[in-house]
Structure 1
Amino acid sequence: MNQEKPIVLRKGWTTGACATAAVKAALVGLWGGKFLKTVSIILPKGETPTFDLVKPKKGNGWSEVGIVKDAGDDPDVTHGCVVIARVKETPNSVTFKAGKGVGTVSMPGLPIGVGEPAINPKPREMMSSIVYEMAKLYSKKPNIEITISIPNGEIITNKTWNPRLGIVGGLSILGTTGIVRPFSCSAWIASIHRGIDVARAAMFPHVAGCTGSTSEGAVQKLFNLPDQAMLDMGDFAGGMIKYLNKNPVNRVTIGGGIGKITKFAFGAVDLHSKRSQVNFKKLSQLAQDNDLPDISNVNTALEALELAGNDLAGLIADLALQRLKSLTKHSGMDCGIVIVNRAGNVISRVGN
């Protein structure tokens, strides 16, 4: 019997890795007198990717190089962007500036201070190390101003979480390992964590995590919450709850459609369709125990809702609230659940 070979997704490189490679190539152009065609760097875990150079330029005391961001098979909105590093000799040590298309931090709560370019700590460390390494190689002082820019980054950023995180004007330079893992759950969860950090720093008393844009719009309108209080939970209820338990707020609301809230109510914390399913046996028993119409033959939670009506949504919301309270019982947070239909209307709300 023939078995299909598993599909191996191609990994890519973070904006931080691209920026580091661009800095190295630009320094070669500045101090070495000419540009190379490719450049290699060593990533934190020992990988040594090679990057092609684009748009090399130099002038009096400065040099710049671009690297095309390759995100591999990950659906990264920055895939194909050009990450440009300009290096300029200055009297000071290594400093960073945000060029066009790279954001600036405007709210507390992130690992970079307010007013600083949105270049995360690890990429800063990687670029600084490259400056010292190249300065030693060329017998130069490591006094370099690094400006990172990404053409059209000020437009692309609207497709990211940056506006909610208080990063204005462009994209962030990210990455702890330098590697983009396709469809990485950890990257999404890390963004949820940063959202919680920003909300706490802004002293928002109430945050909400929703499973999608429809429920998010309804919940935000219902509670009149600012954008920064809306966490991009998606399917990762567990990741959000775990971090909130360690970093609590006064109130937390989970919002979603009937299917994913049903899965959460019956025990799932990863709500993705490939990793959890609706327990139709429990759902049918719930309806039966509460004298609702028979739903024993349904195939979807939506079909069950259509047969049993909003009373079923109310029962599910109650169970989901009990579960959320149980999962956060040591945090002191006030909890709430909102279930929304496909039209974006609230069909059940319990708790806060």
Structure 2
Amino acid sequence: MTRKPDGPLRKGWTTGACATAATRAAWQALLSGDFPDPVTITLPRGETPSFKLIKAEKGDGWARASVIKDAGDDPDVTHGAEIISTVRIGTPGNGISFHAGDGVGTITKPGLPLPPGEPAINPKPREMMIGQITELCNQFGVSTDVEIEISIPGGAEIATKTWNGRLGIVGGLSVLGTTGIVIPFSCSAWIHSIHRGIDVARATGRDHVASATGKTSEAAIRAFYGLPEEAILDMGDFVGGMLKYLRKNPIAFVSIAGGFAKLVKLAQGHLDLHSSRSQVDFDRLAGTIAACGGDKTLQDKCRTANTAKQVLELCQAADVKIEDAIARQACESARATLDGASAVEVVITDRNGTIIARHGIGEFDQFRPVAS
């Protein structure tokens, strides 16, 4: 994850807000003959940002406008992308329709807010664009029969840096944003993707999903169970965001995999595992070592250790199974958050991807691999 810079952070605009601005500019030009530049829109919470146009083209029955997405100080992969809207006069009586242009994905799996076959333009951005189109149609006294095509040049390549593939969105990016505003380092897009992954898993009948704190633990848990890509949730540090959503939208069994240090934090009750938002309590960890039979010397070494990794190495050298205790405590923490909605196991891996501890496997034995 990109490190958060010091000092005040600049907010930005979502892809949905940029698409809305481009759509308004294009439709207004088609109706009036002139492109508003800059173009001003009203966001769901009443903000009225203005956007400078990059493209401004029109012909017989169509117009096209674009803006460059500015995500502020957020490390958004779509920052700097060109968001293009091409509007066309539609067939009378058909109303407003949305289409995926180059670089915008198409939904192929159930469970997302829109059905398979639809362009990946989320409901809130659609609502924003419909509002702008309707306002202009009323102003100029014309019907709201409009075709809107959103394009993002290079979007297919950018999408490889997102989780769209796991969600069944193919061919490009999603047009997202509920408020129109990007809050820097709010991580809302990441948590949104976790939630959509759960929705897709439920809609496709998955009764077992696995989540992981990083690539190594993800590869380990996926290989252990032979899980397909769509059964993997990109949890990262946001175990709380995942567990709280599962509490309301349960799946029968969830595996949580991660390295020792991250899962110590979960064991100690933290639901955000990022280093800037939670820290390992070494005194508490020393108490766990004591409960595992570690002597006072080992406990004292733990209290002055630099990292949780160092604690694990000290315990392994002393043949104290701290990893088993942490797996158990982390599983208990996850269960408390799930409140019985789903069965859960915790799997701890080392840096090579070897599983060194598991707890919770008895809750849902049918998912255990058959011994060879």
Counterpart in the other structure of 1:146: 148
SS of residue matched to 1:159 = coil
CA contact (8 A) 2:330 2:346 kept: yes
Is 2:345 aligned against 1:336? yes
Q: Distance in 1 between matches of 2:44 and 2:287?
A: 52
Q: Distance in 2 between matches of 1:214 and 1:26?
A: 47
Amino acid aligned to 1:325: R
How far the C-alpha of 1:237 sits from its partner, in A, is 1.3
Counterpart in the other structure of 1:94: 96
CA deviations on 1:170-194 (whole Å, 9 max, x unpaired) are 1011111100000113333222111
What does residue range 158-237 of structure 1 map to in structure 2 within 5 Å? Answer: 158-237=160-239
SS of residue matched to 1:95 = strand
CA deviations on 1:195-253 (whole Å, 9 max, x unpaired) are 11111111111111211122112111111112221112111211111111111111111
How far the C-alpha of 1:54 sits from its partner, in A, is 1.1
Amino acid aligned to 1:176: T
Match of 2:268 among 266, 269, 272: 266
How far the C-alpha of 1:158 sits from its partner, in A, is 0.9
Please, which moves more after superposition, 21-30 or 293-302?
293-302
Q: Distance in 2 between matches of 1:61 and 1:324?
A: 56
SS of residue matched to 1:101 = coil
SS of residue matched to 2:273 = coil
Number of aligned residue pairs: give it: 346
Match of 1:308 among 309, 315, 331: 315
Counterpart in the other structure of 1:157: 159
Counterpart in the other structure of 1:3: none
What does residue range 309-324 of structure 1 map to in structure 2 within 5 Å? Answer: 309=316, 311-324=321-334
Counterpart in the other structure of 1:51: 51
TM-score, normalised via structure 1 length: 0.94
Is 2:282 aligned against 1:276? no
Q: Distance in 2 between matches of 1:285 and 1:35?
A: 68
Is 2:343 aligned against 1:327? no
Please, which moves more after superposition, 6-15 or 18-27?
6-15
SS of residue matched to 2:269 = coil
Amino acid aligned to 2:79: H
Q: Distance in 2 between matches of 1:84 and 1:95?
A: 16
How far the C-alpha of 1:157 sits from its partner, in A, is 0.5
**Cα 1:290–1:330 shift into 2, 3 Å:** closer
Q: Distance in 2 between matches of 1:290 and 1:36?
A: 70
Amino acid aligned to 2:338: T
How far the C-alpha of 1:43 sits from its partner, in A, is 0.6
Counterpart in the other structure of 2:257: 255
SS of residue matched to 2:66 = strand
Counterpart in the other structure of 2:364: none
Q: Give me the identity figure in percent.
A: 53
Counterpart in the other structure of 1:61: 61
Counterpart in the other structure of 1:345: 354
Query: Which runs of at least 4 in structure 1 moved beyond 3 Å after TM superposition?
Result: none
Counterpart in the other structure of 1:109: 111
Gaps of 5+ in 2: 1-5, 362-372
Gaps of 5+ in 1: 1-5
RMSD of Structure 2 on Structure 1 (CA): 1.5
Q: Distance in 2 between matches of 1:38 and 1:289?
A: 66
TM-score, normalised via structure 2 length: 0.89
How far the C-alpha of 1:64 sits from its partner, in A, is 0.5
Please, which moves more after superposition, 71-80 or 295-304?
295-304
